[in-house]
Amino acid sequence: MKVLNGKISGGYKFKQFKGQPSPKLSVMELPKNLFVPTGKIDSGIKPLVRSGDTVTMGQIIWKDDSSISSPVHSPVNGTVESIKKQDSPNGQISVVKISSTNSDKFEKVPGFTTEWKKLSNKELEQLVYLSGTGSLGSGGIPTEFKTSVINPLEVEHIIVHATDAEVYNPDISLFLKDEGAAKFTEGLSILSKIMDKASVHIAMSENTNTWFQVIDNTVSDNLAISYHKTKSKYPQNHDSVLVKTVLNLDIPAGYKGINKGVVILGIQDVCQVYEAVVEGKPLIERIVALAGPVFNDNFHIKLKIGTSVSDLSAGKLVLEDKEDIRFITNSILTGETINYDSCIEKNCEVLIALEEKRGQDLLFFAKPGFKKDSYSNTFLAKIIPFKKDINTNLNGEHRACLSCGFCQNVCPAGILPNVLFPYVERDRLDETAVQYGIFKCIDCNLCTYVCTAKIPIAEYLKEGKKKLIKDTYVKEEDFITSYKLIGMNVEGGTN
């Protein structure tokens, strides 16, 4: 087994934060109601069920064969209480409310088999489609059933990663210990058969790469895997940085690995493909890490997709007033902020709870900072290994740029954020910003995190890119052509 060492330009290593999830796994009791998100309202495709209908666990309750999507299943046995509209980052969606029962009745994926090697590629693709697992990963798993913007023959690489780049990361030992590694590698073999022209890569950080040998011991002889050890630095897990590290390919800002023929998945995603094809289990649950200092215990929990944050967090919070808590999915810097009434969706791996700090800490500037994070050597936490606090407080207001250079040092795109953001702030955008590389920005928000002047640099750069496209200083067609992107202008977008 050969392990390749990956490099990342810039980036930042988060260390010793309070609220790290332990490897302990709990199974959540079935909540009274589940709230299952389906498709966008403007697609015109309605759920396949109505209020009052009885549904079975694993039953398909929504699908759209006309655009890029995957079926949605009922995560429980029960009765449809209502179907309502709800706002989401991608527009209004339908949410099916199901009251659950404790019945064990279970509808498995049609055609699942332990002898999957005897199936044709189309039959395997159909299993992935019908199970809903085709929607996993950053751009979906390509099949001929429109689960991604590209088809399996266009996939050149599969990257599975556990890069430990975020402040809080799921513990992959839950999926790879005991018989887990064998199931994972079999899931990888299934994906390799579907995308049979693709090379397979596994990227893990310094903290997780001890699993390379375990995986290699269980992999089948006919599956060739390249192993890549990466730095535990944010944003190593972002598509553009990961693809650059592993494959030395460039992806422009705003696009995904799938647009370069690269399928990017997590460890749990591959395991769920195995469960779908071999065991007939549709995508109805996830293992989610509870992270952040507001949870009174940090562990992993297996739960049904559609579980509300309120049910999940009941009895697990150190703060009583929900207005004092911010819930974020997957990433402190780029994750989606969700409210107390939101539900857990299919791509959630980490739920983070932070204290919503609005006022400035008293005399914070005079304290030695035993538990404060800083890119510079300002705080003693840099040299004394105390667990660091984290909340939403900036502890300061926007000030003039100090030209400290911190944003330049951490920028994974190698641009000059402190030079670029004034063009947007002063409304002087022109070709100069393009020449300085504003479109290389990958929206990782790291420049804002390390800024000593509390300037929302990342927001300025994002706003600037939108305005430059609107004012036609650049055109999307230029990116498509120069980077040789694929899967563009496909109805429904990425899954």
Query: Per-residue pLDDT tens for 260-311?
Result: 999 999 999 999 999 999 999 999 999 999 999 999 999 999 999 999 999 9
Question: How far is the CA of 408 from the CAs of 10, 173, 418, 446, in angstroms?
Answer: 8, 35, 7, 10
Q: Where are the alpha helices (DSSP H) in 137-229?
A: 173-176, 180-194, 211-218
Q: What is the pLDDT of residue 493?
A: 46
- Report the sign of the C-alpha dihedral through residues 373, 377, 382, 384, in that order: negative
For 41-77, strand residue ranges (E) read 54-55, 60-62, 72-73
Distance, CA of 184 to CA of 215 (rounded, Å): 8
DSSP label of 45: P
pLDDT of residue 137: 96
Pairing of strands 225-230, 3-5: parallel
Q: Are 95 and 46 in contact (CB under 8 A)?
A: no
Residues in the chain, total: 495
The pTM (predicted TM-score) of the whole model is: 0.93
Which of 127, 135, 122 minimizes the C-alpha distance to 109?
Answer: 127
CA distance 146 to 64: 9
For the chain, the C-alpha Rg in angstroms (whole number) is 23
The predicted structure's pLDDT at residue 494: 43
Question: Where do the structural domains in the chain lie, given as residue ranges?
Answer: 1-30+121-358+379-393, 32-100, 394-495
Q: Would you give per-residue pLDDT tens digits along the chain (495 residues)?
A: 788 888 888 999 998 899 999 999 999 999 999 999 998 877 788 899 999 999 999 999 999 988 999 999 999 999 999 999 887 767 788 999 999 998 888 899 999 999 999 999 999 999 999 999 999 999 999 999 999 999 999 999 999 999 999 999 999 999 999 999 999 999 999 999 999 999 999 999 988 989 999 999 999 888 999 999 999 999 999 999 999 999 999 998 889 999 999 999 999 999 999 999 999 999 999 999 999 999 999 999 999 999 999 999 999 999 989 989 999 999 999 999 999 999 999 999 999 999 998 766 655 555 555 567 776 766 555 666 678 888 888 766 788 898 899 999 999 999 999 999 999 999 989 889 999 999 999 999 999 999 989 999 999 999 999 999 888 888 878 888 888 999 986 554 445
pLDDT of residue 365: 55
Q: What is the CATH number that goes with domain 32-100?
A: 2.40.50
Question: Residue 313: which residues within 8 A CB-CB, separation 6 or more?
Answer: 295, 327, 340, 353
Helix (H) or strand (E) holding 279: helix 267-279
Question: Cα dist. 53→82, 160, 376 in Å?
Answer: 10, 39, 59
